[in-house]
Chain A
Amino acid sequence: MLGYVFRRIVTTIPVMAVVALLVFSLLYIAPGDPAAVIAGDQASPEQIAHIRASLGLDRPFLVRFVDWVWRILHGDLGTSIFTNLPVSHMIAQRIEPTLSLMVLTLLLSVVIAIPMGVMAAAKQGTWVDRVIMVLAVLGFSTPVFVIGYVLAYVFALQLNWLPVQGYTPLADGFWPFLQNLILPAFTLGGIYIALIARITRTSMLEVLSQDYVRTARAKGLGFGTVLFVHALKNAAVPITTVIGLGVALLIGGAVVTESVFAIPGLGRLTVDAILRRDYPVIQGVVLLFSFAYVLVNLIVDLLYTVFDPRIRY
């Protein structure tokens, strides 16, 4: 197992190298010029050229790429063109809100979606199944921002239970922290709950038709024990895969959710950086997201062995 983990970690190095090259190349060929944005409307072409040179943006592609990679290898993600702050500092400022939002969304989604999927499978064809599947379709088809606005209108503006926007760090208290994240987590979780519930239902239906389930029932085991102890564990592998792959969905959804709820996370940092062509920030954040995704896939692969002892690496 340890050897497998080591091999997987080693294989991430070429993956990250390709990602780095792609990110850098795409930004190089993408239209836009941070020097023009910085210089503003009053600037003459000479002034823009002067700023471009001072930022090192007039150097050849290879020189800039090698310089960037060299600094990354030394743990330096560069400095934001606009704020003059280290990219690592900006990411560190933003990582807690995004991570908190994603973890809470993940927890809520799993806690809500798996029982929903199990119940839908157990009550296949009944009104329970239909209601759950209608909710799943709604979750899939309703845009994240619509869910966000509706939740904010009802729970923040009308009922005044929760704040409309913002983020409170965990260090300032658990309840203030949670207050700011409940609505965003439900907003972001909508599509994720729908996805997990549907996959759980499908996977459970397959497992529930197996002989050992019939045997368990014949032995007189309780309804809940059969479903949650015997069947669910065997249905867990595809569910785990979807939860892992869904992290990409969360990253995408976090961009919108963070904007709707004004959460100072990595999603908003990315959007702001793209709009301003703040290349070092874009490169740093995309590299981080890529690494996180590779890591999640590794964790998912390792979890397979927990749920299915037949799987060995």
Chain B
Amino acid sequence: MGMNRRDFLTLAAGAGAIATLPAPAIAKESETRVLRFVPQANLPNLDPVWGTQYVVRNASLLVYDTLFGLSSNLEPKPQMCASYETSADGRVWTFRLRDGLYFHDKEPVRSVDVVASLKRWMARDAMGQVLKDRLDTLEVVNDKQFRVQLQKPFPKLLLALAKPMPNIAVVMPERIANSDPFKQVAEYIGSGPMRFRRDEWVPGSRAVFERFSDYVPREETGDWLAGGKRMELDRIEWQVIPDAATAAAALQSGEVDWWETPIADLVPLLRANGKLRVEIADNLGNVGILRFNHLYPPFNDVRVRRAVAMVVSQDDYMHAVVGSDDALWRPMPSIFTPGTPLYTEAGGEILKGPRHWEEAKKLLAEAGYNGEKIVMLVATDIGITKGQSDVTADLLKRLGMNVDYVATDWGTVGARRAKQDPPSAGGWHIFHTWLAGLDCTTPATNIALRANGRKAWFGWPSSELIQTLIGQWYDAPDLAAERWVAADLNKAAMDFLPYIPTGFFLAYQAWRNNVSGIVKAPFPVFWGVRKQ
């Protein structure tokens, strides 16, 4: 039987009509179980011990589980652990794993996996290394129990195991955890609520997580990384959209459901759309950092660092970072994140009140600064570092300093700042970055605070007093004692100035109205999130 032109057109129109029919209810049901999420950056790997990027940490929190989890009031709570016992002298800790823990390859989680994972983590993490230094033995008691014996008490043990600041103490199968901690693991197998679909992974574009049906959440209500991680979604698709305008358009058109880091410029546009919600992502925010190189003149002289601090205006820095939205920033004459238990302004007068230009210039002259070139590394591809650097360049020039503004990309800054050579031989004097506010809630996790010389973070400050006080915080038995140490530490830091905090700033997150259950946290919390 032949088909003439009219038959063909009729058929084509019919096909078109079928295509416009409502999709079956079952398809819509499955659609609500899939969340499309735009992460802050590309996911380069899924090894949170080897890779320290926040995006790796965020994805790892879905795939891997931890022995303890941090709650929203910054307290470590049992997660994989069912219970634990401590000896009276605080030197012996015995932990018991909860029942029903399985890895994504269906193998049960055993103490031997935990011990191997902790050993790998201790080799890389700063807090892990403190634990390692105090460790006597770390041993398997049986499949469900393991024991930590210490040479001296370590009151921050649970925090070290719970902290979500990289590197995190995730649990992997023993065969994977036994690998070199300085090499990336070959398999991404955890025991968290979602398993990673490696077959669908396109680095730089897409990462897919699928609900792990054998995951048993805790009974308690979920609270950040503590409590029950109950997944209401079957599948989470991370879509990497490097261009902010495209991500905004994709959110508006409904191609994605949740955007982790909308830029401030686009927030008014998103707010004007009735189908979207835009809220502060994380009350712990971020802290801007002006970092000196302490190895070479002029910033190896505390008087020069103080001269700069005396004219720093956090107002200027924060406007350069967040624009005109004053709800997004706060001054912070402190090394601790505002609003957190250890926050104190003790000794922070140098960053408060009117700026003292004349006094600063005198101090600079007294220190013998004589127009030497100041090499400032500027990552122009990142707005936050570029904005801060522009303010600093202007400030130093007004102070009479000779600024060499080295405009480059973050990859180059990352490499060059690691060089301990003199600034005239490929080194540097100043660079800017920022830390997550969560990282600045304790002296242990604030990397810019460490002052153990050439072993410290880039800039290599050396202060015995700061190091002693950090050690005292590790040994502080309770919050009251921690606060005493924190006040002394803030005074010492504001006097010695290992870095200058340029201010505290917040950021937004945005999602579509049909998504609910999104909480404020320093990382995206997917459990409890629903899509209608």
A residues neighboring B (CB under 8 Å): 31-33, 36-48, 50-51, 54, 80, 82-85, 90, 93-94, 149, 152-153, 156-157, 160, 163-166, 259-262, 264, 268-269, 272, 274-277
Contact = CB atoms under 8 A, between A and B. Distances in A.
Contacts of A38: 50-52
A264 B241 CA distance: 10
A277 B53 contact: no
B328 interface: no
Contacts of B255: 163-166
Nearest to B412: A31
B32 to A, nearest CB: 20
Given A262-B239, A274-B411, 4 more contacts: A32-B411, A51-B182, A165-B246, A262-B247
B243 A275 contact: no
Nearest to B186: A84
A262 B204 CA distance: 10
A94 B417 CA distance: 33
Contacts of B249: 152-153, 156-157, 164-165
Contacts of B240: 262
A306 to B, nearest CB: 36
Given A83-B45, A164-B246, A262-B205, A40 B52 contact: yes
B318 to A, nearest CB: 21
A31 B186 CA distance: 29
A264 B44 CA distance: 14
Contacts of B243: 259-260, 262
B246 A262 contact: yes
Contact of A268 (B53, B205, B411): B205
Nearest to B460: A45
A165 B240 CA distance: 11
15 contacts: A37-B415, A40-B52, A40-B53, A40-B166, A42-B167, A44-B455, A47-B124, A157-B249, A164-B255, A165-B255, A166-B255, A259-B242, A262-B247, A262-B250, A275-B381
Contact of B418 (A45, A157, A163, A275): A45
A257 to B, nearest CB: 11
Interface in B167-183: 167, 180, 182-183
Contact of A45 (B166, B416, B454): B454
Interface magnitude class on chain B: 35 or more
Contacts of B241: 165, 262
Interface string B397-433: 0000000000011111011111010000000000001
A237 B409 CA distance: 43
Given A42-B126, A85-B203, A276-B44, A262 B242 contact: yes
Contacts of B420: 45
B149 interface: no
Contacts of A275: 381, 409-411
Contacts of A83: 44-45, 203
Given A54-B180, A166-B255, A37 B411 contact: yes
B204 A84 contact: no
Contacts of B245: 149, 260
Contacts of B418: 33, 36, 45, 48
B447 interface: yes
A242 B184 CA distance: 46
Contact of B415 (A31, A160, A260): A31
B182 A268 contact: no
Contacts of A48: 418
A137 B426 CA distance: 45
B117 interface: no
A42 B52 contact: yes
B183 A276 contact: no
A268 B124 contact: no
A40 B414 CA distance: 9
Given A41-B52, A157-B249, A164-B249, A32 B125 contact: no
The 8 A-B pairs at the shortest CB distance, nearest first, are namely A40-B52, A264-B205, A33-B415, A82-B44, A164-B249, A31-B412, A262-B241, A32-B411
Interface string B31-51: 000000000001011000011
B457 interface: yes
A276 B241 CA distance: 17
Given A149-B245, A156-B249, A165-B246, A264 B457 contact: no
B252 interface: yes
Contact of A152 (B166, B205, B246): B246
A34 to B, nearest CB: 8
Interface string B81-100: 00000000000000000000
